[in-house]
């Protein structure tokens, strides 16, 4: 089994888009991948189970991968977390910055 901790930096936590992308990644793998927080655990491949964990910004989750391709899957999950969770926070900040001049002019 491979496990690692990951601190969520996205202001929205793990919301539907990153949870869905992680679920898609894990569905085709031989290993079972889970997210654990505060004693609760969910299979990453099950979108609604991950959403039910209600992971928020600042939370530290433990990701566990167990099975035939665990090392490769753990690496891919970590990379996907870096892309989908961190990227969504950056994209959201950029979107707010782009909308601000329009909102200010409308007032």
Q: Which residues are catalytic?
A: 15
Please measure the distance between the N-terminal and C-terminal CA atoms of the chain and give it in whole angstroms: 55
Alpha carbon separation from 6 to 41, 64, 73 (Å, rounded): 14, 11, 15
Query: Coil, helix or strand for 72?
Result: helix
Q: What is the CA radius of gyration of the chain?
A: 16
- Which residues have CB under 8 Å from 70's CB, separation 6+? 1, 2, 31
């Amino acid at each position: 089994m491979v496990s690692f901790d990951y601190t969520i930096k996205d202001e929205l936590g793990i919301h539907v888009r990153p949870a869905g992308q992680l679920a898609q990644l894990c569905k085709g793998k031989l290993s079972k991948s889970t997210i654990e927080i505060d004693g609760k655990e969910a299979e990453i491949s099950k979108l609604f189970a991950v959403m039910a964990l209600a992971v928020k910004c600042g939370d530290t989750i433990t990701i566990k991968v167990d099975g035939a391709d665990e090392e490769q899957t753990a690496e891919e999950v970590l990379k996907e977390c870096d892309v989908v969770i961190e990227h969504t926070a950056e994209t959201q900040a950029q979107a707010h910055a782009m909308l601000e001049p329009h909102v200010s002019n409308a007032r």
